[in-house]
Amino acid sequence: MESNLRLTREHAFVLSEIDIKNIWGTLEQYFGAVSANVEFTDNIERKAESIEQLLAFENSKKRSIRRVEFSSRSENGENRSKVTFENYEHRPVLITASGIDDVITRFSDSCEEIIDGLKPWYSRLCKLDFFYIIGGIAFIGFMLLRIMVPDSPKEAPTELSRAIEILSILSAIFAALWFAIWGLNKIRAKCFPIATFAIGQGKERHRVIENIRWGVVVAFAVSFSASAVFGLLA
């Protein structure tokens, strides 16, 4: 009986050398020869025929890895699979396979265990969108302002100069909100990336950003604790 597997994961991942070896070995075990197509940020795709070739990529900041696609196929072509890791928010991990049911079932179980181990502690933060947070706060603020300043039917029409002034102020507020959302989302994407390829120079980048992440978490925890203690003592 032939079976087909299509598995997607939307959580973040950190792909290290050990993980690559585990995935490579699993594909070899169930399917056969393995190769990897690696796409870089310079828009060039390079092929690795061995683990050594894949791990030898510099993965520099200028030419960092954007996507890695592992491919494997049995000699008779009966069983085949692809495992893709990509810096793509809506589908970071994609696994497809087809072949004999028993092989596909066992491969799926083994592969899922590996993928689960790639999920970093900050995975949920990768989906955080400050548009909804700041937008929600702004909306509530404008609603409260609307309630606190009721309409007055006897009020004289607003002069053109005053209307332009109000419009300018509102435009400045919305522009500031937009830049704040854009900036915070950029910082979030930098500090909590959906895809991390911790090989080559990427290992050092991952180590540095991980230290920054924990520094932010510790600073937030200390600030929150200090505020709580001050509130109790006040």
Domain boundaries, the chain: 1-126+195-234, 129-191
**Spatial separation of the C-alpha atoms in residues 7 and 214, rounded to whole Å:** 31
Kindly report which listed range (93-102, 107-116, 122-131, 192-201) carries the lowest average pLDDT score: 122-131
d(CA 23, CA 9): 16
The larger pLDDT score, comparing residue 124 to residue 27, is at 27
* Residue 133 in this model has a pLDDT that exceeds 60: yes
Question: What's the whole-number average pLDDT of the chain?
Answer: 86
Of the candidates 14, 160, 29, 171, the one whose C-alpha atom is nearest the C-alpha of residue 107 is 29
> According to the 3-state scheme, what is the secondary structure of the chain?
CEEEEEEEECCCEEEEHHHHHHHHHHHHHHCCCEEEEEEECCCCEEEECCHHHHHCCCCCCCCCEEEEEEEEECCCCCCEEEEEEECCCCCCEEEEEEEEHHHHHHHHHHHHHHHHCCCCCCHHHHHCCHHHHHHHHHHHHHHHHHHHCCCCCCCCCCCHHHHHHHHHHHHHHHHHHHHHHHHHHHHHHHHCCCEEEECCCHHHHHHHHHHHHHHHHHHHHHHHHHHHHHHHHC
Q: List the Cα angle 56/11/48 in 5-degree steps.
A: 20
| Mean pLDDT within 57-82 | 92
At 164 the pLDDT is 77
Query: By percentage, how much of the chain surpasses pLDDT 90?
Result: 50
Supply the pTM of this predicted model.
Answer: 0.79
The 10 Å CB-count burial string (b at 16+, else e) for 1-14 is eebeeeeebebbbb
Q: Cα separation of 182 and 145, whole Å?
A: 25
pLDDT at residue 230 in the model: 61
- How far is it, in rounded angstroms, from Cα 35 to Cα 31? 12
When pLDDT is averaged across residues 166-182 and rounded to a whole number, the result is 84
